[in-house]
Amino acid sequence: MPHWSDHYLSASRSYDEMHLEDGSVRVPYEKVNDYIKKFNAGAFREKEKIAGDLFLNRGITFTVYSEKEGIERIFPFDIIPRIITSSEWAIIEQGIRQRLKALNCFLKDIYHDQQILNDGIIPATLIASCPHYNRDIYGIHVPHDIYVHISGIDLIRDTNGTFYVLEDNLRTPSGVSYMLENREITKRIFPDLLSGNKVKSISDYPILLHKVLADVAPHNISNPTIVLLTPGIYNSAYYEHTFLAKYMGIELVEGRDLVVKNDHVYMKSTSGLKQVDVIYRRVDDDFLDPLIFRPDSTLGVAGLTSVYRKGNVSIANAIGNGVADDKAVYNYVPQMIRYYLNEEPVLQNVPTYSMENEEERAYTLSNITRMVIKKTNESGGYGLMMGDKATDAEIADITAAVTESPRNFIAQPIISLSTAPCFIDGQLQARHVDLRPYALCGPQGIEIVPGGLTRVALRAGSKVVNSSQGGGSKDTWVLSEE
């Protein structure tokens, strides 16, 4: 009798994480496949229900801004893990380390000597037109020359199974709490399967994050006071802010809890003011200091930039990092690697067309149904148009917008992201996935926990994996052996 999982089919022309083209199971997935074969679909429905209840009871949520009601949602979780082999992970790790070294060099250079512009590697006009290039912090020296303390580099696989970098998230990347919670839920529903696959642990992340933050404290303070600055309960990642503060044992504060006095930042407490040495901020630059950025912001701290300039507080990530994850600047990261490190990139960019380049713009608009158009300064899946799904009206609108403001857009060929089996409606179904590993940069080097957040486009055929656009996630297993 056929098993309920026998009907699994991956999307055509996509690399499937679990199955080879002939339908056989890839070696790393054999134990998972054998496990699935032992149970009927009802048993997996029960595990799915247990996982859902655990997410609900633990309050693992995110917020969708576009909804007018019920904006707080349980983060969708698919119970079937995604597996990455140790050799695949070695390449990912090497590539991310290389990329972050170059991006840190770029940020130091661009806020000091600007040699990369003087040498014509990156057009000066591109940087000058970047809304996230912050002239107010030009010349500020940051501890240990580290600008990117926390990053989430988005990766995808093409049809051949090769990993490509899709985006660099260097401002306030989110999702790491879901990576950790996904593992905890998996331990509860698949304890024997997890241990039997020799999956590498990711549980050290909060400890590593705390160490990085402590190590970048100004003036080499041995026991610094570290706080996590959140915009508050209405932020989409507020759950994550509370999670990380709790697991690091630091205070979760809002702007109103901090005050600047005598060139230092202090936290208000019941016992008086306490000096703050390091701020892990989850507030965007524009809202961080109303004296420098948006004067109407109540999320930040008046005078914070002045304290930062004097070196009396460290801020992670550094102010102004957005210039390095502008989607138009992303196109130049391979050149940065060659320029600063004299190395060839380990991980390749997705081919990207600049809309400011007349030829590339003309090519894009002539082939728009095979392109994804992205706004250069949007994230979370906003400002994105998939040419193969767009209506004629949407194509006309985006064409007009690109023509009017080419600097605000890039284009990339639509890549058929890899698929992974997901348990949906009592069946194994193929859904497109990406991967966001999290890296931490400190004075002792770069740490990357073995795993990441595998995001899932839960709608059949969709390639948009963002949670704000209906995406979910699954646990990511990096194996310690082949």
C-alpha to C-alpha distance for 76 and 60, rounded to whole angstroms:
10
Residue 44, domain member (yes or no): no
* 108/247 same-domain check: yes
Residue 379 sits in the same domain as residue 407: yes
pLDDT of residue 270: 87
pTM metric for this prediction: 0.92
Contact in structure between 200 and 253 (CB atoms under 8 Å): no
Do 246 and 319 fall into the same domain? yes
Distance, CA of 420 to CA of 373 (rounded, Å): 25
Phi, psi of 350, rounded to the nearest 5 degrees = -70, 135
Out of 306, 341, 376, pick the residue that ends a domain. Answer: 341
Confirm whether 405 is domain-assigned.
yes
The C-alpha angle with vertex 427 and arms to 425 and 428, in degrees rounded to 5, equals: 125
At 297-324, the pLDDT tens digits run 889 999 999 999 999 999 999 999 999 9
- For residue 247, how many other CB atoms are within 10 A of its CB? 16
Residues 290, 362 within the same domain: no
Please report whether residue 441 resides in a domain: no
Residues 428 and 37: their CA atoms lie apart, in Å, by 12
96 assigned to some structural domain? yes
332 belongs to a structural domain: yes
Which pLDDT score, from 0 to 100, does residue 380 have?
60
Better pLDDT: 130 or 70: 130
Crossing angle between the packed helical segments 176-189 and 238-248, to the nearest 10 degrees: 80
Name the band, by pLDDT with cuts 50, 70 and 90, for residue 71: low
Domain with 394, as residue range(s), is 351-413
Q: From 398, 413, 428, give the residue that closes a domain.
A: 413
- Name the one residue in this structure whose structure tokens are 């300064």: 377
Residues 2-15: tens digit of each pLDDT: 788 887 876 567 89
Q: Which residues of 414-433 are buried (b: 16+ CB within 10 A; e: fewer)?
A: ebbbbbbbbbbeeebbbbbb
- In a domain, residue 74? The reply is no
415 DSSP 8-state letter: P
Q: Which long-range contacts (CB under 8 A, 24 or more apart) does 243-250 make?
A: 243/177, 243/180, 243/181, 244/176, 244/177, 244/206, 244/209, 244/280, 247/206, 248/206, 248/209, 248/210, 248/213, 249/210, 250/210, 250/226, 250/280
Q: Does 271 lie in the same domain as 389?
A: no
pLDDT of 384? 80
Same domain, 287 and 327: yes
Sign of torsion over alpha carbons 288, 69, 384, 82: positive
Q: Do 380 and 238 share a structural domain?
A: no
Q: Are residues 214 and 132 in the same domain?
A: yes
Q: What is the pLDDT of residue 11?
A: 56
Which residues make beta-bridge pairs with 374? Answer: 384, 410
CA distance 187 to 75: 18
**Statement to judge: residues 124 and 260 lie in one domain:** yes
Is 37 contained in some domain?
no
Q: Does residue 41 form part of some domain? A: no
Q: Which amino acid is at 392?
A: D
- Write out pLDDT tens, residues 215-246: 999 987 889 999 999 999 888 889 999 999 99
Per-residue pLDDT, averaged over 348-365, amounts to 94
* DSSP structural state of residue 284: -
pLDDT (mean) for 379-405: 85
- Tell me the torsion sign for CA atoms 297, 303, 307, 310: positive
Among residues 286, 312, 341, which one ends one of the domains?
Answer: 341
Mean pLDDT, to the nearest integer, of 154-179?
A: 94
Looking at residue 89, what DSSP letter applies? H
CATH number of the CATH domain containing 304: 3.40.50.11290
Residues 288 and 384 in one domain: no
Please write the tens of the pLDDT for every residue from 93-144.
999 999 999 999 999 999 999 999 999 999 999 999 999 999 989 999 999 9
Together in a domain, 335 and 379:
no
Q: What is the pLDDT of residues 273-303, one digit of tens each?
A: 999 999 999 999 999 999 999 989 889 999 9
With 0-12 / 13-18 / 19 or more C-beta atoms within 10 angstroms meaning exposed / middle / buried, residue 42 is exposed
- Residue 86: CB atoms within 10 A of its CB come to 15
Residue 220, amino acid: N
Task: Evaluate if residue 433 carries a pLDDT over 60.
Answer: yes
Residues 239 and 369 in one domain: no
**Structural domain tally of the chain?**
2
